[in-house]
Structure 1
Amino acid sequence: MKMFDLWGRRVAQAFVGTALAVSLVACGGGGGSAGTPVVGPGSGSSSPTGGGSTVTAADLVVVLNKNALTDAVGETLTATITSIDANRAAIGGAPVSFSIDSNAVVTPAGTTTDGTTGMLTATITRGSDVTPRPVKLTVTSGSVSKVVTFNVVQSAVTTDPQASDLSLTLSAPSVDNTGSRTITATATAVDQNRNALAGIPIRLTVTDASATILVSGTQTDASGKVTGTVDIGQNRADRPIAVVATSGTLSRTVAFQVTGTQFTQATIVPSVVAAGATGSVQYKLADAAAAPMAGVSIAVSGNGITSATGTTDLNGDYTFRFVAPNAPGTRLTIKAVGGGKENNVEVPIASGNSTQVPAAATPAAKTLNLSADVVSVNTDTTSNQISINAFFRDVANAPVPNVRVMFGVTGDNLSGTVGSGTNTVLSDAGGSATTTYRPGAVSSPTNGVTVRACWKTSDFAPTDTIANCPAGNLMTTTLTIVANPVSISIGTDATIGTGAGGLTYVKKFVVMVVDSAGNPKADVQITPSVDLGGYGKGFWEWNAGPKKWERAPDFGSMGALTAICPNEDLNRNGVIDTGEDVNGSKQLDPRKSDVSIAVVGATKTDATGIAVLQLEYPANIASWVKYKITVTAAGVLSPPAYFPLGTPVTLPSLPLGAVNAFDYLYTYDWLPVSAAAVAAESPPAFVNGLYGVSGSCADTR
């Protein structure tokens, strides 16, 4: 039993238990049939503490010293049970009963777990049945029941290689509770000369309901090691987590600590409470990265008030409300425990006209900070908010407590809520006065909301407000409340590609959508369209000097054209109306099908607020049709985005010969051509104008 005593001492180092005792008898199973009661030594013994009270275990940890029980005479298997409380700490004196099936026999060493270590062992034999079979052991304490299984196997095939010793190490003694880090456990098997042994079966487990372990294998590798990567799981509370390595009769346990839980806010509202009046403490629980810890239970208590237990919301907030005891001139200490962390605040109980709060020293440095300077509007289904923190330091950079602070916000159309309301907040022992701000459903311009904090070293007078706060006592900062995306832009680069069939050109454009703070807005539906403003007539010629194709004479920045003609479909209805078919081609030129536009991939912006568009058109149409892209986005407050820049299309378009017709078309751009085609000596596909080469828009020549 020395090995198990050593194992017990290791587990006891990982868990801090409270030794309580009970006077109950455990029942076991075994012998000739499943469920047969077995009473171990110590049956009927009195409670170790003499109190006779029943200890309730929140969970049980059951570890077997090996995976199988051979059919050899005298062969045994040992189960070690540890009772733990809700904080995963060992708790002694819990009643434990056993049952076993498949004709195996279990003999417990007692009926309650040890008052110091919280552990209890039980010895298992195969009984009179020598047949190979699976066996199920059930361990019960109160309403908690755990089941483990093992096999009875033939001794000729179950002789596992044995190590003389095991070592178990961890990559670090602790890990923060952000959930992004892991601990690596390494178990090493050695012989009597401390040589590493390969092929030794080792089982790695964790004694925590939330944690998980990913092992490298079930046997040691060539270096005699088995490793396991431990993740703390969903539970981000501060707590110890024990790792257990078992090989045959050998067992080793080491533990690491999960850390990082913090009460980032414990604000008393109001800061001084009258005897018999109602007050509250606003708590915020966060992890090591200051991320809110939602769904964590917080227990709050104090002398003379009613205790309560609650759960943090999505922002990690919990508000405890209390009625101050009838004890003017005293201080009420309120303790909160959550996520394995404890927080204590003192609430002054007013006596007459005195607040019982001493005047604060005059701070030498004052800072007003926000947990974020951009926050989203709130709807019926959201709870967006930020923390507001005022920090005070003296000339030695030491915190200044008891500074009185009033918080307020302007520029939000009175739609938001300050957590402390109109009440004064006192700076705590760390020199910090904290409250929260929850915006309403109205967004703001960039930096359009001003957060204000008025401070004073003594009590505010009834007539004091933030509005009349002296300039030297007023601190301000700004934030932006965002809602729908407010702006959309479109742009491109200098490249042009070729379509899949090699017969078309593809020109890509990028669309960006942001909110009023300039942050990208994801998942915004993009709707593009392209308008063809007109077409050109002419041809390209080879210039042997610069060795490239050119157009002449030059009627615009794009080069050689003999005529520029507006779109014949003036009202864009696709029907030839009176006077529209100017060139007599029996169709409306340019054809709408000359150019297509599409969103590449998803039709909504990605996480960076970006979507990609592309124009595709036959290579022989390049340079002969003018286009303008319009992009709208669902919910965007600004006008649509245009490429190229210019006024939107106004229908009906300007007809041939109309005043300003040329200026109208100047706001459009020619379909781009391939630079490689322009530089190649062979004639490009677009060498002659698709709609003719004459200088007149009234014919098709």
Structure 2
Amino acid sequence: MDENSSPLAGSPNNGGGGNPTTSPDTAEAGTIDLVASPVRLDTSTNAQSAITARVKDSNGVLLQGVTVSFSATNGGTLEVTQGETDQAGVASAILTTDGDPRNRTVTITAQSGSISDSVSVDISGTSLAISGPTSISLGSSTALRVTLSDADGNGISGETVNLSTTLGTLSASTLTTSTNGLVDVQLNSGSTGGTATVTAAAYSGSSTISTTRDIVVAGDSFGFTSPAPNTEVDLNTQQEVTMEWLVNGNPVADGTQIQFTATRGTLTPASGVVTTSGGQASIDISSTNAGISTITASDTNSGLSADLTFEFVATTPDEINLQAIKTQLDLSETTEIVAVIRDADNNLVKNQEVSFSILEDGSGGSLTSSRDVTDSQGRASTIYQAGANTSGRGGVEIQATVAGSISDTVTLTVARQALRLAIGTGNEIIEPDTVRYIKDYVAIVTDANGAPVENANIELSVLPTGYIKGSYVPSIDDTWVISPGNPVFCDAEDLNRNGQLDAGEDINGSLALEPTNSATTSASSVISATDGSADFSLIYPQSHCNWVRVELTATVRVGGSESVESSEFFLSCAASDLNNTDIPPPGGIEGLYGSDQACNVND
């Protein structure tokens, strides 16, 4: 037996390998041996355990064809791969964590009738970790980062982390992990020295995990005195940064080394090592690229450290890029218009006033604000609301300007009304029976920008436009063709398309309108789907094919706008009905409306 496999404690483990397998209709399970392999899983996404149940009758004979049901507790997920025992008396399933990263024990049960067995699988590997300094001074604060990760080290997002400290205060007691499984919290040391034990915990019950980090709160005062936190520093400008270290209220010994590091910018001296004088140490920093910088001062011997955050900012705009979150809008819909300002070195420029204006707008829309000031990301924005009319493609133009002359534009389209309609078909004819043809069609509704229009009501009609007269004759290829080769075409007599025989319309004196309405559509109207399309079919008698020309028309109306698309064609025959001259063509050899080559003759 595999060392990672475990039969259920207390279950019989008879060999039975050579026993015959029986499958009588009345056979009932006497014992079930349930095994998991392995019995320990980690919390990685691909972890799985094979679950195997062997079923025997009361005499120890393996049973075939017995139904076994599997179940799992505590968030375990089972995929039953074989729910009925095979010739070896085996039913099986696969246990997975199914994305549940909790540490826990899952109990799997296999049951047949009143007989059952269970096995437990331990799932573990998810952990918490706290990173940060080991020592801080009185009255200071420090950033701590908590990481929640699975057995593969992947961050676990969207989970609640509870935080506490035995000394000082935390900026939050409950936080939710980011997409990378992180939460950041500030520890404020307060005014009392000692050791702060910071605890982070996640999940609940038997799945609870926790970790701690001890941080010494020294009686020393160790922190920055200038500049103030969140100071803005112009690019390419030296900024002096000063820290102070007091021991029992007195300056630390002169010449004590302080190590400075920074997340952005260049330190002078480059080593970042400066010695104290009168308890203070100063260093210069500058940067050629904009953004937040955190500078840290630390003493390697005591473990003391302090952080100061400020921002390098670009001040000279060189270019502007204007974008709209959405460039295609419904009537009266809104979208955010965003301008991003950069300098000549591609740095984002902060604190710049940007003005917005509409240069052209056929929809009658508006902006909620004509100005904004760029933030740390170089962004300034306003909201555009479309008007009640369509604009045409690119019919709305908005401009953003910075520094008086640097500008960019963006174009929008306000056009969700159905301005375009197309109908089409394929090259196949369906014969549902011996008397009818069905030909499938599609109608597509789009706006002026080519985007699909959903839920548009498409009205359909099909009316005759004319007919031909002639008869079928065999061709040299032994197929049915119409004779003469260029038969007369007669226009439909219903000139005003009102379906009534009016004066002057009965050209051939038949006392009826020719041709009749030979075809119909499967529905009088259809509704477009999310892709703007709608399916329908054309239905007509087989005997009318080749003789009648019709006009198929689709009409869509949205918001007072109408679009019409038509297609004119002869009703076609299936090739298979014309390729054997031993069988008469649909409707017979004689033309539907006769063969005389004069439209005023009724034959």
Whole-angstrom CA distance in 2 between matches of 1:165 and 1:536: 80
Amino acid at match of 1:503: V
Match of 2:595 among 671, 687, 693: 693
Q: Are residues 1:450 and 2:450 paired?
A: no
Unaligned ranges ≥5, structure 2? 1-29, 52-67, 81-89, 108-118, 127-148, 160-177, 180-227, 232-290, 293-310
Cα distance change on mapping 1:506 and 1:187 into 2, 3 Å = closer
The equivalent residue for 1:564 is 489
Give 1:626 shift.
Answer: 1.8
Q: Are residues 1:610 and 2:533 paired?
A: yes
Q: Secondary structure at the match of 2:543?
A: helix
Q: Are residues 1:540 and 2:476 paired?
A: no
Cα distance change on mapping 1:245 and 1:400 into 2, 3 Å = farther
The equivalent residue for 1:522 is 454
Cα distance change on mapping 1:607 and 1:359 into 2, 3 Å = closer
Contact 1:452–1:476 (Cα < 8 Å) also in 2: yes
Q: Are residues 1:480 and 2:410 paired?
A: no
Q: Secondary structure at the match of 1:620?
A: helix
Give 1:455 shift.
Answer: 1.4
Whole-angstrom CA distance in 2 between matches of 1:332 and 1:394: 22
Contact 2:39–2:120 (Cα < 8 Å) also in 1: no
Give 1:230 shift.
Answer: 3.5
Cα distance change on mapping 1:692 and 1:417 into 2, 3 Å = same
Cα distance change on mapping 1:226 and 1:537 into 2, 3 Å = closer
Q: Secondary structure at the match of 1:688?
A: coil
Match of 1:422 among 355, 361, 370: 370
Amino acid at match of 2:555: T
Q: Are residues 1:244 and 2:104 paired?
A: yes
Cα distance change on mapping 1:184 and 1:439 into 2, 3 Å = farther
Q: Secondary structure at the match of 1:454?
A: strand
Give 1:506 shift.
Answer: 2.6
- Pairwise mapping of residues 154-233 of structure 1 onto structure 2 (< 5 A)? 167-171=40-44, 186=48, 205=74, 214-216=77-79, 226-230=95-99
Contact 1:390–1:434 (Cα < 8 Å) also in 2: yes
Q: Are residues 1:631 and 2:554 paired?
A: yes
Amino acid at match of 1:229: D
Whole-angstrom CA distance in 2 between matches of 1:498 and 1:203: 52
- Pairwise mapping of residues 577-592 of structure 1 onto structure 2 (< 5 A)? 577-592=502-517
The equivalent residue for 2:336 is 387
Q: Are residues 1:596 and 2:498 paired?
A: no
Q: Deviations over 1:137-158 (max 9, x none)?
A: xxxxxxxxxxxxxxxxxxxx9x
The equivalent residue for 1:441 is 388
Whole-angstrom CA distance in 1 between matches of 2:523 and 2:592: 27
Whole-angstrom CA distance in 2 between matches of 1:575 and 1:440: 46
Contact 1:204–1:243 (Cα < 8 Å) also in 2: no
Give 1:609 shift.
Answer: 0.9
Unaligned ranges ≥5, structure 1? 1-156, 172-182, 190-198, 207-212, 232-240, 262-286, 289-329, 334-343, 346-356, 379-383, 457-468, 554-558, 645-668
Whole-angstrom CA distance in 2 between matches of 1:414 and 1:582: 52
- Pairwise mapping of residues 254-273 of structure 1 onto structure 2 (< 5 A)? 254=126, 257-259=155-157
The equivalent residue for 1:501 is 433
Q: Are residues 1:576 and 2:501 paired?
A: yes
Amino acid at match of 2:557: A
Cα distance change on mapping 1:547 and 1:362 into 2, 3 Å = farther
Whole-angstrom CA distance in 1 between matches of 2:367 and 2:33: 67
Query: What TM-score results when the alignment is normalised by the length of structure 2?
Result: 0.51
Whole-angstrom CA distance in 2 between matches of 1:202 and 1:611: 46
Q: Deviations over 1:13-58 (max 9, x none)?
A: xxxxxxxxxxxxxxxxxxxxxxxxxxxxxxxxxxxxxxxxxxxxxx
The equivalent residue for 1:411 is 360
Give 1:605 shift.
Answer: 1.4
Whole-angstrom CA distance in 2 between matches of 1:162 and 1:588: 83
Instruction: Point out the structure with the larger strand share.
Output: 2
Contact 2:354–2:372 (Cα < 8 Å) also in 1: yes
Contact 2:360–2:396 (Cα < 8 Å) also in 1: yes
Give 1:540 shift.
Answer: 3.0
Which moved further from structure 2: 627-636 or 398-407? 398-407
- Pairwise mapping of residues 56-71 of structure 1 onto structure 2 (< 5 A)? none
Contact 2:362–2:390 (Cα < 8 Å) also in 1: no
Whole-angstrom CA distance in 1 between matches of 2:509 and 2:93: 90
Give 1:671 shift.
Answer: 2.0
Query: What TM-score results when the alignment is normalised by the length of structure 1?
Result: 0.45
Whole-angstrom CA distance in 1 between matches of 2:71 and 2:478: 77
Amino acid at match of 1:640: V
Contact 1:411–1:444 (Cα < 8 Å) also in 2: no
The equivalent residue for 1:512 is 444
Amino acid at match of 1:672: S
Cα distance change on mapping 1:184 and 1:633 into 2, 3 Å = farther
Q: Deviations over 1:153-174 (max 9, x none)?
A: xxxx9x9999999644233xxx
Whole-angstrom CA distance in 2 between matches of 1:548 and 1:164: 71
Which moved further from structure 2: 684-693 or 390-399? 390-399
Contact 1:412–1:443 (Cα < 8 Å) also in 2: no
Which one has the largest radius of gyration?
A: 2
Give 1:689 shift.
Answer: 1.2
Give 1:516 shift.
Answer: 2.0
The equivalent residue for 2:581 is 681
Contact 1:533–1:566 (Cα < 8 Å) also in 2: yes
Whole-angstrom CA distance in 2 between matches of 1:165 and 1:503: 66
Contact 1:170–1:186 (Cα < 8 Å) also in 2: no
Contact 1:168–1:245 (Cα < 8 Å) also in 2: no
Amino acid at match of 2:474: W
